[in-house]
Structure 1
Amino acid sequence: MRTVLVTGPGGSGRTTLAAASALAAARAGRRTLLVTTDPVPGLPAPDGPAPAEAVDGLHHVRTDSAAHFRAELVALQDRASGVLDLLGANRLDAEELTELPGSGQLALLHTLHRAAAGDWATEYDVLVVDLPPLADALALLALPGQLRRYLRRLLPPERQAARALRPMLAQIAGVPMPAQWLYEAAARKDTELAAVEALLQDRATTVRLVAEPGPAAEDALGRARTGLALHGLRVDTLVANRLLPRHSADPWFADLAARQDKCLDHWRQGPAPLTEVPHLGRDPRTPEDLGLLGADCAPDERIPGPADDPWWTEDTRGEPGDEGVLTWCLPLPGAVKENLRLVRRGDELLLTAGEFHRVLRLESALRRCTVAGAALTDGVLRVRFVPDPGLWPRTR
């Protein structure tokens, strides 16, 4: 399934362009699902949590964070009912629950799981997801990996103490042992997060950036390039939205158009293809308006091949003058040397690039090496590893 994640600075029109991209894919004959958290101008609002047909070939689903939060908490109370009753706890009714901060992100991840590995996975050819504004979107895209790491550290399956004794202890106590349902819940959540993480890492998944040309958008996009690269996410296109007519008799509009042109000249030199979308002169209100905006926004059917791997390892062992070094190369466009921090901890590499942070699990060969140094050159961080004689197979 081809997946397009749409984001951009707040107020850039990303929701509208996500809908326009999805509509263009549907009109090209591909079964398309549009996932949003906000209403979409020009499309009927879906009724309920299941996808509803908006136009021919295009289905639309909106995440309901409040309903998802209530359902999850009620289900958690039901699974832990024995323990709660033993403690004399008073349960909360769904009607009295108010969602907490962060529930929106978890609801969207749940929707992505249903699209990636749930009951919708085989029904669509194209998935278009309207993500939150750029900074929040980067945090959301990092969340599945972070949560899985926390679960593995806090509830490691291989350390489930007295697993064989729990059924017997449960019979004696008359209630399920807390560790049992806790580990079961963690395993279910890990499976769900793993499916979302696989979707984000799939070669058929790309990010589409939507921005209105201007200094603020240029700064936001510059910072985002580092965060996207750190998480191995590919940008398929940069959509310059709400472009004004270039030849206006009104001096005020002509000045604004000139400023947009200056920004566009810089964007055209960037690494991502540029798509220009003119201002309609009004807010989009119908599918026809979305069709005008999305005329050049249909998601490319091309799936990046092996040559587009975001990270790679250079093996120079055996070359003249080489000391047996493996180099792990991580492109980090826009990164500044002074803002980089690198820490090796066991089988993981803790990497901080400015405001972005990620814990990377090392490949099998690199786990048997020690870090010999790192350097940032031409936007690529090269981490040098030297084989550990105590762990690397010896040759005669």
Structure 2
Amino acid sequence: MRTVLVTGPGGAGRTTVAAATALAAARRGTRVTLLTPDRLPGDLAGVTVRRIDAAAHFRAELLAFQDRAGAALDLLGASRLDAEELTELPGAEQFALLSAVREAAAEEPGLLVVDLPPADRALATLALPEQLRRYLRRLLPPERQAARSLRPVLAQLAGVPMPAQWLYETAARWDLELAAVQAVIEDPGTTVRLVAEPGPAATDALRTARLGLAVHGLALDAVVANRLLPAETPDPWLAGLVAQQRKHLAELADDYPAVWEVAHLGRDPRGDDDLELLGPGSGPDGPPAAAPRWTVTDRLDQDDVLVWSLPLPGAVKDGLALVRRGDELLLTVGPFRRIVPLPSALRRCTVTGAGLHDGVLEIRCAPDPGLWPRGG
């Protein structure tokens, strides 16, 4: 299964490009599912369209949680909430999107196209499964479930109530669901497509988004330069806008390996015929782009170190911070932060330094002599 995640700066036409991408693949005979929270500009004949309804998802999840935790809520004397009085809280949109991705991927369409929110929110959403699973493992370690039969005894000894079984069961269910959507996000067949109208603000936003994708190990397959004005126009005012677009389009071509141009229709797209005209680039049927690889290089014979190389295009030294905590690395790059487990070989090493060279962060690690014994 291929998955194409469509995002970009706000107002750049993400939903239209996502719809055009899905329709183009369906016209080539691919079984396509499109996820979107918005109204589409066409019927998308041949595409299975699923609308992401954050409010409905929030109500269903909260009511289900009330049912599972019913005994605890009754013990506390809690007054249960009715569906009619529930309105979604901040964050409901992200969880509804992730749930929709998991459910759609389980049906294994040939192509899954996901209409994501603007890039900053999209990156935060895509990072959620990994982050939340880490929190669950720390707060409710799975290995402690083995002691559930001893909980009544432990509660008496400690003088405080032990976590109820339903809490562990809920955490386990959440972990399974998060793992399923994380698998889709990290799958080699998943790529991100950035949509933007060429211009100074879009150029900066795309650079930030590209850096965020690299930090989270996501593959960028193309930048879609959307709503391009005609290259030739007799109108001097319009000619100025065209010149600005072309200038930034040339910069995009220099910075990104694949830039797909989509012409402005001169009107808002309406219907499948218009969407067919907007089908960007060669579509998603070819091999997916590869995500930036984080690799460990053995230099034990030369410098007596191991080097962990992290491609971070667009990163600058002033925005970098590294902290090792146990077997994890806390990585801060500009506005992005990620906590990642160290490769197994580096857990037996000490970090001796790091440097940023041509968009690649190299972390130097010296083997701990006590853990890397060498023959005499």
TM-score class, shorter-chain normalisation, is over 0.9
Mark the CA change 1:136 to 1:30 in structure 2 (over 3 Å): closer, same or farther: same
Match of 1:368 among 344, 348, 353: 348
Shift of 1:246: 1.0
Contact 2:7 2:14 (C-alpha < 8 Å) held by counterparts: yes
Cα distance between partner residues in 2 of 1:395 and 1:185: 50
Shift of 1:222: 1.4
Contact 1:24 1:297 (C-alpha < 8 Å) held by counterparts: no
Offset from partner CA, 1:87-121 (integer Å, 9 cap, x none): 221111111111101000000010111123x3x2x
Contact 1:20 1:297 (C-alpha < 8 Å) held by counterparts: no
Paired residue total = 371
1:223-262 alignment runs, 5 A limit? 223-262=208-247
Contact 2:221 2:289 (C-alpha < 8 Å) held by counterparts: no
Shift of 1:301: 2.5
Contact 1:14 1:210 (C-alpha < 8 Å) held by counterparts: yes
* DSSP 3-state at the match of 1:269: helix
Q: Which residue of 2 aligns with 1:20?
A: 20
Q: Which residue of 2 aligns with 1:173?
A: none
The alignment's C-alpha RMSD in Å is: 1.9
Match of 2:338 among 358, 361, 378: 358
Contact 1:21 1:297 (C-alpha < 8 Å) held by counterparts: no
Offset from partner CA, 1:306-364 (integer Å, 9 cap, x none): xx652111111123xx2x21100001111110110000000100000111000011111
Shift of 1:161: 7.6
1:203 aligned to 2:188?
yes
Contact 1:229 1:331 (C-alpha < 8 Å) held by counterparts: yes
Q: Which residue of 1 aligns with 2:101?
A: 112
Q: Which residue of 1 aligns with 2:158?
A: none
Shift of 1:168: 9.2
How high is the sequence identity, in percent, across the aligned residues?
A: 64
Contact 2:261 2:280 (C-alpha < 8 Å) held by counterparts: no
Cα distance between partner residues in 2 of 1:381 and 1:142: 20
Mark the CA change 1:372 to 1:168 in structure 2 (over 3 Å): closer, same or farther: closer
Letter in 2 for 1:112: V
Cα distance between partner residues in 2 of 1:303 and 1:263: 26
Letter in 2 for 1:336: V
Q: Which residue of 1 aligns with 2:132?
A: 147
Cα distance between partner residues in 2 of 1:352 and 1:169: 40
TM-score by length of 1: 0.90
Contact 2:223 2:256 (C-alpha < 8 Å) held by counterparts: no
Match of 1:379 among 359, 362, 371: 359
Contact 2:31 2:111 (C-alpha < 8 Å) held by counterparts: yes
TM-score by length of 2: 0.94
1:74 aligned to 2:63?
yes
Cα distance between partner residues in 2 of 1:276 and 1:32: 23
1:55 aligned to 2:38?
no
Offset from partner CA, 1:94-149 (integer Å, 9 cap, x none): 11111101000000010111123x3x2x3x10011011001111111111111111
Q: Which residue of 2 aligns with 1:310?
A: 293
Offset from partner CA, 1:124-182 (integer Å, 9 cap, x none): 10011011001111111111111111111111112348412358999xxxxx9743111
Shift of 1:86: 1.6
Q: Which residue of 2 aligns with 1:288?
A: 273
* DSSP 3-state at the match of 2:26: helix
Instruction: Using the TM superposition, name which of 291-300 and 358-367 deviates more.
Output: 291-300
Match of 2:81 among 68, 92, 101: 92
* DSSP 3-state at the match of 2:25: helix
Instruction: Using the TM superposition, name which of 217-226 and 347-356 deviates more.
Output: 217-226
Letter in 2 for 1:6: V
Mark the CA change 1:212 to 1:100 in structure 2 (over 3 Å): closer, same or farther: same
Q: Which residue of 1 aligns with 2:308?
A: 328
